[in-house]
Amino acid sequence: MGSILNPYVSFSGNAREAMEFYQSVFGGKLEINTYGESAMPDAPADQIMHALLATDAGYTIMASDTPPGMPYNPGQNISISLSGEDVDRLRGYFGGLSAGGNVVMPLEKQMWGDEFGMLTDRFGIAWMVNISGT
């Protein structure tokens, strides 16, 4: 697998409800990780740090509850997520997208074992890049 483009939606405390609803509409497998599982300080333990719905039709929707300290702007809290195993390609995308933009989190190894980074491109679009198995 090269890379995949997925929508990533932020919610204000109801990500679980939204993702369970999307699962009822699209079917598929829903995976949920809470802030409590990650031991993120100051975050409500039962809220969603990351949810992934992989549908039988090939759609993937990702979501989270907005972390403490980050603004929640309904209709504006959406990011584009790139993920996969093609290390060079995904690192290249991250570098290219960050040109003239703002790196929010450098692309680096994370607690779940993958490389991950976040940026806002020069047009104000938020991007997340996750490189599996690095």
Bridge partners, 98 (sequence order)? none
Please check the confidence at residue 56 and state whether its pLDDT lies above 70: yes
pLDDT, position 1: 57
Instruction: Report d(CA 42, CA 130) in Å as an integer.
Output: 24
Coil, helix or strand for 16?
Answer: helix
Q: Determine the pLDDT at residue 32.
A: 97
Domain that holds residue 76: 3-131
Structure tokens at 134: 């690095």
Distance CA 81, CA 66 (A): 16
SS3 (DSSP) at 87:
helix
pLDDT digits (tens, 9 = 90+) for 106-125: 999 998 899 999 998 887 87
Domain count, the chain: 1
1-49 pLDDT, tens per residue?
567 788 888 888 999 999 998 999 889 999 999 999 987 778 888 999 9
pTM (global) more than 0.95: no
| CB 133 within 8 Å of CB 115 | no
pLDDT computed for residue 68 by the predictor:
79
CATH of the domain at 88: 3.10.180.10
- Predicted confidence at residue 34, as pLDDT, reads 95
SS3 84: strand
For residue 67, the model assigns a pLDDT of 82
